Amino acid sequence: MHPKKKIDDLLELVEDGIFAVYGVVTGIIGGEEWWYLACKCHKAVIPDSVAYYCNSCVKHIFQVVPRYVWFILLESML
Q: Which amino acid is at 59?
A: K
77 binds Zn ion (CB under 5 A): no
Closest to Zn ion by CB, 13 vs 57, is 57
Q: Quick one: which of 7, 10, 37, 57 contacts Zn ion (CB under 5 A)?
A: 57
Q: According to CB under 5 A, which residues from 17 to 46 bind Zn ion? A: 39, 41
Task: Provide the strand spans (E) within 1-78.
Answer: 4-5, 20-21, 23-29, 35-38, 46-48, 51-54, 59-61, 65-68, 71-76
Least Cβ distance, residue 36 to Zn ion (angstroms): 13
Let me know how long the chain is.
78
Site of interaction with Zn ion (CB under 5 A)? 39, 41, 54, 56-57
